[in-house]
Structures are given as structure tokens and as C-alpha cells.
């Protein structure tokens, strides 16, 4: 039980640090209106969510605490992967921050 609680604390700490470190800056491309950047970002977010939807879907933890900690960990991994995919997608479309 203690190790499961420790895992939850570690993951929660990682979430707090990741939340503080993220900076939402505008995506820009020369000669492109903001509405086009917003549309491109929406497309990239959709694609990133579709690509990461199965992360953690096949895991079967043995206890309630394990389920919670694995669920949180899967959410962190999914969020990190989505952010990286969104960034790569926007850069591939010629946008920069």
C-alpha cells in the first residue's frame, strides 16, 4: 500500500511541475491570419488525440491503488505524447512559436 501511495505522490508531483512548465504561446506563420493558425492547431490536436487514445487502455492493475496510480501515469504519458505530436504537426505545417 505504501508503494502505491508513493507512486501517486510522484505522479502528482510530475503533473504539478509539468503544469507550471507549460507555456501557451501563439503559433504563427508569416502572412497567415490567426484564424488559420487556430484551425491548423485544432486539426493537430484532433490527430494527436486520435493517435494516443489507446495509451494505458490494455492495462489491468491488481488493486484499487494500482488502478489509480496507473490511470494517472497513463494520463501523464498521453498528455506528454499529445503535446509532442501537436508541436511536430504544427511545425510540419510551417508554424512556429
Please state, in angstroms and as integers, the Cα–Cα distance from residue 20 to each residue in 24, 46, 73, following that order.
11, 24, 18
Q: What are the residue ranges spanned by the domains of the chain?
A: 1-22+48-97
13-41 as b/e, with b when 16 or more CB fall inside 10 Å? eeeeeeeeeeeeeebeeeeeeeeebeebb
Strand partners, 28: 96
Helix pair angle (64-92, 34-52), 10° resolution: 140
pLDDT tens-digit readout, 24-52: 789 999 999 999 999 999 999 999 999 98
pLDDT tens-digit readout, 55-85: 776 667 678 787 788 788 888 888 999 999 9
Amino acid at each position: 500500500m505504501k508503494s502505491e501511495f508513493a507512486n501517486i505522490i510522484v505522479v502528482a508531483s510530475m503533473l504539478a511541475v509539468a503544469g507550471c512548465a507549460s507555456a501557451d504561446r501563439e503559433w504563427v506563420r508569416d502572412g497567415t491570419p490567426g484564424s488559420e493558425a487556430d484551425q491548423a492547431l485544432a486539426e493537430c490536436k484532433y490527430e494527436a488525440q486520435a493517435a494516443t487514445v489507446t495509451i494505458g487502455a490494455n492495462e489491468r492493475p491488481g488493486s484499487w491503488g494500482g488502478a489509480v496510480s496507473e490511470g494517472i501515469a497513463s494520463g501523464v504519458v498521453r498528455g506528454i505524447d499529445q503535446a509532442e505530436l501537436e508541436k511536430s504537426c504544427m511545425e510540419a505545417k510551417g508554424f512556429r512559436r
